[in-house]
Structure 1
Amino acid sequence: MHSTSKTRTRGLLRGRLRDLIAELGPGRRLPSERDLSAEWGVARMTLRAAVDELVGEGLLERRHGSGTYIVFSPVLRVIGLTSFTHDMRSRGIEPSSRILDFRTITADDALAAHLRIPVGSPVFWISRLRLGNGEPVAIESVSIPVSYAPHLTRDDLEGSLYEVLGAKHGLVASAASMRIEPILPDQASADLLGIGVEQACLRVRMVDTDRSGRVVMLATCVYRGDKYQLRAEVSGAAGEADGRAVS
């Protein structure tokens, strides 16, 4: 009978923990077991057993010396012109940024060719660490010709760059080409992302153009492989070209 009661209590605690997980969101730290057991009026060992079960299900993770955290499930992004900020918020995750670098550089031959601007033109160089619920997710590096957004400031870089460029500077990207590849991060990138150099990442290179075909932005993003996934939807029949079968 006592065992049945404890099993029932653990079941109720799992339910309360699931509610708490939904309320707090991915990446957040749970209150301590001491505080939760006191608040909910249950034995600490019984609470720990319920937490252990959710750890086993992959909903929670224990970090030595830090506490128990809600697992940050990978964000699944359908490839398209959506911002990091939109991706995060659409999944109930609070996005934020840490500006690593913001300065004006001079376009060399290679950069000028990619942006299709004269060599020597001033270009904004922006580097940001992107976070979801305070946890590092990606390192983003962006190049924008200064003449396209001459009044861009450091304060514009806290949220979605797409939104700021469109609303404040009238610079709207309507198409993009992407190159996606798996990489291992260098030590500096791994330190920023809070991972080891052996952990796989996704590197996404984007060339954004406006409706006239003008290149308005170059972006390179390095995403944590365990935090971000990309999905593409493709239509059309394989083996066909211009409506004709290929032999």
Structure 2
Amino acid sequence: MNSKQLISKIKEKILNNEYENKKLPTEDMLMEEFGVTRYSVRKAIQNLVDHGLIYQVQGSGMYIKERRDDCLVLSSTEGLVMGFSNKSVTSTLLDLKIVEADDDLANDFKCKIGTPIYKVTRLRYLDGVPFCVEYSNYNKNIVSYLNKEIIESSIYEYLRNDLKLNIGFADKIISSEKLSRKHADLLNLMENDPSLIINDTVYLTNGSIFNSSKVLYNYKITKLFDVANLK
């Protein structure tokens, strides 16, 4: 079992309220339960701390934090389906095409001009309410195949489970702007209403950029969550 699988297993148990007294087992107990090394356990624990799921009490152990199921976790690279595990996340594909990278896309992806790029536009819902309009680009040399079924399910689950890509980290730029009539109609809002914008550049663990996106969020139902490390 690798670190990602271990993180997934522990997270599943946390979400299913399987740990008594909201306390995580000791490192030794986790090593024995999952048959992994201490290094893997510590790496998984750090990931769960970084994502705001657990916290450490000196001399007492690791405790499970109160869940923030209504928030978009900024530090997460899991995608909406995993990030909002308690809600129904659905998507509607609005547009899918392949283009050759121009100067701007080549700069975004640090790739050669002419590299094939998937351009995906989709509308995403939380419990049936329009949540965001997403414009995403994927380097086709890395993300070899996308179709309507994958896009309307979970792209990131497909990338991890089917393409076996190791997703590393994301640079995020957060801003705001007024909605155009087109985007307001998609989000069931009014033209010139505010929208939260997040621009992502997402890397594999080897440093390759495979995804860049611009996402416009429905301001009425969007909350952001991140963990501040005050050490």
TM-score, normalised relative to structure 1: 0.62
> Which residue in the other structure is 1:77 paired with?
72
What pairs with 1:12-91 in structure 2 (closer than 5 Å)? 75-80=70-75, 81-89=77-85
| Residue of 178, 189, 200 corresponding to 1:184 | 178
- Measured after TM superposition, the shift of residue 229 of structure 1 is 1.1
1:120 aligns with 2:77: no
- Measured after TM superposition, the shift of residue 232 of structure 1 is 2.2
> Which residue in the other structure is 1:18 paired with?
none
- Measured after TM superposition, the shift of residue 78 of structure 1 is 2.4
Mapped contact 1:173–1:216 kept (Cα < 8 A): no
- Measured after TM superposition, the shift of residue 152 of structure 1 is 2.2
Q: What amino acid maps onto 1:187 in structure 2?
A: R
- Measured after TM superposition, the shift of residue 149 of structure 1 is 2.0
Secondary structure at 1:162 match in 2: helix
> Which residue in the other structure is 2:90 paired with?
96
> Which residue in the other structure is 1:155 paired with?
149
- Measured after TM superposition, the shift of residue 148 of structure 1 is 0.9
Q: CA RMSD in A?
A: 1.6
The share of aligned pairs that are identical, in percent, is 21
- Measured after TM superposition, the shift of residue 145 of structure 1 is 1.0
- Measured after TM superposition, the shift of residue 181 of structure 1 is 0.8
> Which residue in the other structure is 2:166 paired with?
172
Q: What amino acid maps onto 1:78 in structure 2?
A: V
- Measured after TM superposition, the shift of residue 220 of structure 1 is 1.1
- Which range moves more in the overlay, 103-112 or 194-203? 194-203
Mapped contact 1:205–1:221 kept (Cα < 8 A): yes
Distance, in Å, in 2 between the alignment partners of 1:203 and 1:97 is 18
Mapped contact 1:171–1:216 kept (Cα < 8 A): no
Distance, in Å, in 2 between the alignment partners of 1:151 and 1:78 is 27
Mapped contact 2:121–2:135 kept (Cα < 8 A): yes
Distance, in Å, in 1 between the alignment partners of 2:144 and 2:170 is 22
> Which residue in the other structure is 1:194 paired with?
188
Distance, in Å, in 2 between the alignment partners of 1:201 and 1:172 is 31
Distance, in Å, in 2 between the alignment partners of 1:162 and 1:172 is 10
> Which residue in the other structure is 2:62 paired with?
none
> Which residue in the other structure is 1:224 paired with?
218
Distance, in Å, in 2 between the alignment partners of 1:110 and 1:157 is 24
Give the number of the structure whose residues are more often helix, by fraction.
Answer: 1
Greater gyration radius:
1
Unmatched runs of 5 consecutive residues or more in structure 2: 1-68
Distance, in Å, in 1 between the alignment partners of 2:70 and 2:96 is 27
- Measured after TM superposition, the shift of residue 122 of structure 1 is 0.8
Alignment length (residue pairs): 162
- Measured after TM superposition, the shift of residue 125 of structure 1 is 0.4
Q: What amino acid maps onto 1:195 in structure 2?
A: L
Mapped contact 2:143–2:210 kept (Cα < 8 A): no
- Measured after TM superposition, the shift of residue 82 of structure 1 is 2.9
Mapped contact 2:89–2:125 kept (Cα < 8 A): yes
